[in-house]
Amino acid sequence: MKQLARIVSEEHGDVVVARIEGEIDMSNAPALGNRIRELLTNRSEALIVDLAGTTYLDSSGIALLFGLGDELQRRQQVMHVVIPETSQLLRALQITGFDRAVPTHATLQEALDRSR
């Protein structure tokens, strides 16, 4: 079976970056969420979910992002999302109000600068 998405992670001090490459849908959203949660520790100050390489996002993917944002807020951590201005996913995140609930940025560097 073909893998729809993969997560490439990196750390910048206490900031964890989870770069999602591929498609997020109901078949893989729970597993992706679990993988992202595994990247975080109690010492993590922020999580950046980088959607620059994400080519498809359905409602289960959007729900995953809202859920992660809520979880981190309860843990007194912050989530930022990278969504380039040219991304086909941007409109869906704007329609759902996600961009008003979680800080979004056009570039990873901008997200890193704001997360510190």
**Which amino acid, 90?**
L
The Cα 1–Cα 68 span in angstroms is 27
- Taking only the tens place, the pLDDT of each residue in 23-45 is 999 999 999 999 999 999 999 99
Q: What is the pLDDT of residues 49-91, one digit of tens each?
A: 999 999 999 999 999 999 999 999 999 999 999 999 999 999 9
In the chain, the number of structural domains is: 1
* Cβ density class 68-104: b for 16+ within 10 Å, e for less: bbebbeeeebbbbbbbbeebebbebbeeeebeebbbb
CATH of the domain at 80: 3.30.750.24
Distance of alpha carbon 36 from alpha carbon 30, whole angstroms: 10
Residue 97's pLDDT band (cuts 50, 70, 90): very high
**pTM of whole model > 0.85?**
yes
User: What residue numbers bound the domain in which 16 lies?
Assistant: 5-84+91-115
pLDDT at 25: 97
How many Cβ atoms sit within 10 Å of the Cβ of residue 47? 23
List residues bridging with 82 in a β-sheet.
Answer: 50, 105
